[in-house]
Structure 1
Amino acid sequence: MLKFSLSEIIRSLSETLDLVFFGLGVDWGSMSHSSKVCYISCKIAEQMNLDKELSGDLYYAALLHDVGLILTREAGEMLHFEAHEDFKHCKRGNEILKKCSYTERLANIILHHHDKWAGPNETGITGNMIPICSRIIYIADRIDILIRPREYILHQKTEIINTVNNNSGTYFDPRVVAAFNQIARLESFWLDLTTKHTEDLLRNYKFTENIKLNYDELEHIAEIFAHIVDSKSKFTKEHSRRVSLIANALARKLKFSPLECEMIKVAGLLHDLGKLAIPDELLDKPDKLSDDEFEIMKRHTYFTNLILNKVRGLDIIAKWAAFHHERLDGSGYPFHTKGEIIPLGARILAVSDVFTALTEDRPYRKGYTKEVMHNILNKYASEGALDSGVVNIVTENIDEFYKLTKSEQSQQNYLLS
């Protein structure tokens, strides 16, 4: 069975976390915040001779340090060097990572990654009581925030170095600052931060390449990111989990193999990854989106496709997930794929997404009754938008599928509910 590299998955999915800044109008292509924080952290760790186990934890924690930063308005605050509302996302990130066996050891690092050396901190600790990995990530995070992407990096380095040193002993651990000062002398360090190849540089850290995941283990990681995306709006809470459940049930009825059923569960969990690029106010708007706003919404599946295709072995899952707004008649988005080019897995996800959305409350309407959902699905099928064979399975078993989205058991099966 195909195995997936944990580090490759985390590297790719961490880019999803940067999408929240894209919702603020920051150029996502030049952002790479998670990767840059990871690279700075790893360079400091090398200078400090951090042991291999701690370095591995630091690598993953740095990539995931903003796992709790979900809301656009909170992300805006983090773009200021002296961020004042920084503990909320630390606490949220800690709670998210504690729920998965592959990330629970990172949770405490994330909780403390905005703790100031001299305090005061909401965690109640200061100085050497703060985990060393948290201290390193904090300074790395603030260094990247200080960089002005439109200016030549070597013209900024002295100002950044001075700002860091002026906060040594108050915000930052003096020992970590001393290590930073050593690497900050190198022009190559700064130039590395301005290339588009930060991910390639991170691949040089071989201690991260040993952990391989199967599909069942991949699902646990997918559940984390599904929870992150779904938490962006109260109206989409558990949406990805429900889509995953419906898609898996449909796949079984369509005689998908056990492996294909595992694949479609993961695709369902990850289908809305790109939603982090959508501003909060659009997701919570108490009315239907305007034409211009809908154009912004269309980018979410594009980003889902871009991110998932970076993981070797996820090409089929990526297509199923990213095509969930494509329609058989070519009226979908963002690729306007049509007909037989759309794989059955993507058709299943399209129907699952529509069905699940119809059951859910939205800012501008309540969830529909089963009778209304039945009529809407049949209309989409008769117009050639959704696969009629898949729709028929849902409408013929609508009570079963409706209960599946509402059952207590299905909620208990969700890792992070």
Structure 2
Amino acid sequence: MVDIREVPEAEIDRALELAYLVFHDRPDRDRRALHHALLTRCARIGAYDGDALVGFMAAHHFRLSVPGADLACPGLTFVCVAPTHRRRGVLTALMDEQLRRTAAAGGPIAVLWASEAAIYGRFGYGAATQGVTIEIDSTRPLALRVAPDRRPLRLVDPADAADLVGPYHEAARAARAGRPSRSAERWADEWLGEHDEEDEELSPPRTVVLGEPGEPIAGYVLYRTKSASPAGDGGPRGPGLVRVDELEADTPAVAAALWECVSSLDLTGKVSAWGRPVDDPLLHFAADRDQVRVTAQFPALWLRLVDVPAALTARAWAAPVELVLELSDPRLPANAGRYRLKAGPDGAACEPARAAPDLVLDVRELAACYLGGTRVVELVAAGLVEERVPAAAAALDAALRTELLPHTADEF
């Protein structure tokens, strides 16, 4: 048996060494310092076998945008178990304790990014958002079907970037569910940090905004660049790369101007944008889809419903619906049972029910649908949700619908 307890600040370095062991990482001194500072701002729990730390988990203190609301939400990170203690219930004990603490604090949801997609479904997490990687062949001008906004583009001094784009990002979170809040430290260390953790050859971040000087900005793009790769075996040099980390825009015309900007940088031939929303307008207003291609799609943010009635009544609903849901939740039995959900644009109620269910599902499936990113009818077709009453799934989908698909690129 292991003992699950809080990890004091004095033992953060021990926790980091365990994480580096598990994730096969050898960070330099600067990255270790960033990780240490990050963990001082997180809640931390560990699994101890005697005095040995054999499992660890931290949680950011986030707020997450959900349809019509912004909810307190722990964001799990640095989840790891020592190789000597795998398959001994350590991860289960950590996850159960984290869920217990979230419930005790009144938190309706929790989120994480999965290092391995097969792990977290059994703890009730569902893939609530999807991301795509978009690549642009920028060896020729970007062909567009909309006219770019021709207001000025400005390169922002790095010292001023967070103050300028941070408020814009915070306002934009409300328009698209699934986006965690960003602290000043996360802006400085992760989004605007001098060095990129994944690729040391990338430049420092650049920030370009669109809008008249003195007026509120209408959009921005954060990007890094990499020089052309050297020729190999007498072949030609590879093109320089522009990696777009984030692009936000008020209108399609603003987005077009920002994409045109990053696609026309000298000495580059490819733009890569990881973690874009599935419904990115670029995929519609690009005139040549051979030039603008989706090269990957993947589950992004995984969400857990910790308090089902609280979570369902907190979000906004697009259409009236009244259904009885029969829910299973092996890890949090308080969630299991039948609920009558009565919701609509004027609000929602979710109360225990005895009536026969319209839909039978696991909490994992309800979590995947909660932000509006997964359709219930697709889960019925996949055999993961049982529809007892015809058209019940379609009715729930109509109520869950959001104008924009949920999305986040905030990996943590």
TM-score tier after normalising by the smaller chain length = under 0.3
Bigger helix share: 1
Bigger strand share: 2
TM-score (norm 1): 0.24
